[in-house]
Amino acid sequence: MSGQKYEQTILNNTLMFIIQLLHDNGINNWFIGYGTLLGIVRENSCIKGDDDVDIIIDISNYDIVKKLLIENNIEIEYGYGIGDKKNILKTKDTTNYCSVDFYMASLDEKGNFNDTWEKVIWSECYNEKTELIQYIWNDKKLYLPFNYEKKLFNRYGKNWRIPQNNKGPSPRKTIL
């Protein structure tokens, strides 16, 4: 979702906060997606000028994530057509943090995360051990989907490794 453009420091601090919040509460079935994944893989940082942090997460975590955000004084956004939908949790930005989009995805036994908000299936996100890829970033463990470079190629095109001022080729693929 488009919104305010943020400096890398705020984006990275927000991601660090979310990583800690999820880990502290035993929530491990999530990974970074969309522009956040692109930035971390390509630049080892969130992308300067991005408008949010993107998390793809198992929808079974909806209630606990919402409760944790509220307990940590993070307001939930209900605009943008979100209302009380359960396929997305969007936070409002604060002085210290940018907004976060939690794309609540249904998950099947093959590790396909079906993001019904963006209408994208993140296919076969587990490795051979039925796990997400663990990636250490700024001394924190975050998760990436298996075969993430192929997913970035499918989302942003063959030049995904080169910073550009667009969101990738159109029409966009619905299966990554």
Integer Rg of the chain from CA: 15
Please state, rounded to an integer, the average pLDDT across all residues of the chain: 94
* Token representation of residue 37: 């994944």
pTM of the model: 0.95
Which sign, positive or negative, has the C-alpha torsion 51, 96, 84, 30?
positive
* pLDDT at residue 172, as a whole number: 86
Query: What count of residues does the chain have?
Result: 176
* pLDDT at residue 167, as a whole number: 78
Q: State which residues of the chain have pLDDT below 70.
A: 1-2
- The domain segmentation of the chain, as residue ranges, is 8-156
Residue 136 and residue 155: Cα distance in Å, rounded? 23
* pLDDT at residue 2, as a whole number: 54
CA neighbor of 22 nearest in space, from 145, 144, 142: 142
First to last CA, the chain: 19
Instruction: Answer whether 32's CB lies under 8 Å from 138's CB.
Output: no
* pLDDT at residue 17, as a whole number: 97
DSSP label of 61: G
Residue 36 and residue 135: Cα distance in Å, rounded? 13
* pLDDT at residue 44, as a whole number: 97
8-156 CATH choice from 3.40.50.150, 3.30.460.40, 3.40.50.620, 3.30.70.1730: 3.30.460.40
Continuous segment of H or E residues that includes residue 57: strand 53-58
